[in-house]
Amino acid sequence: MSETPSTPTRAQIEADLCAILTDMTADWDLEHDQPISGQTRLMADLAFESIDVVQLVVAIEGHFKKRQMHFENLLMVDGRYVQELQVWQIAEFLEGALAS
């Protein structure tokens, strides 16, 4: 009998996100010299632009091997794109998306 893989915990998801972001930004010339954590802001701390958000979504889908997680629910509020995201917010969103 094969087991279905368990859904990762929010702490595991956040740690994976930090690793993905660290890898993505390794060769960027950033003023932010702190390790990436749950409090890290994508736009203000990591100087993310819209194309970087798209690349992050692709990296997340590849890492967690799940597509169609409806990132629009994270990236848009009232029909407008959010101005800032913190790593913990993405982890919270992914916790629900990966469980469904």
* pTM as predicted: 0.90
Q: Higher pLDDT residue, 76 or 30?
A: 76
Q: Cβ atoms within 10 A of the Cβ of 54, count?
A: 12
Task: Evaluate whether the domain defined by 10-26+36-99 bears CATH number 1.10.1200.10.
Answer: yes
Rounded average pLDDT over 48-60? 96
Q: Is the pLDDT of residue 29 over 50?
A: yes
Tell me the per-residue pLDDT of 85-99, one tens digit each, with 9 for 90 and over. Answer: 999 999 999 999 999
Which residue is associated with the tokens 């799940």? 66
| CB 93, CB 74: distance < 8 Å | yes
Torsion of CA 26, 27, 33, 35, to 10 degrees: 0
Q: Cβ atoms within 10 A of the Cβ of 72, count?
A: 8
Q: Higher pLDDT residue, 6 or 44?
A: 44
Rounded average pLDDT over 55-61? 97
